[in-house]
Amino acid sequence: MAMMQKKYATDIFGFGEEFRRHQYAYWKAHKDEWDDLFAQAEIRVHVQTYLRRFGQCK
């Protein structure tokens, strides 16, 4: 993630598309500079995992 963000400044994960869908006013105002904003953004990922049917094998 950091290499795509810092070295290539490319949003291959689609964060800009999510902004366009859910925060359209912000996206419209910043769409031309999105690659620069993405390169400077601090991105944190939180993963929550649930195990179901632990130990079952067929």
Phi, psi of 17 (to 5 degrees): -65, -40
10 Å CB burial of residue 4 (0-12, 13-18, 19+) is: middle
Short-list 46, 35, 45, CA closest to 6: 35
Pull the structure tokens for residue 56: 């079952």
Q: Which single residue is written with the structure tokens 């070295």?
A: 7
Integer Cα distance of 41 and 6 in angstroms: 10
Q: In the prediction, which pLDDT does 48 show?
A: 94
Do the Cβ atoms of 9 and 39 come closer than 8 Å? Answer: yes
pLDDT digits (tens, 9 = 90+) for 1-58: 677 777 777 788 888 898 899 999 998 999 899 888 888 888 888 999 988 877 766 6
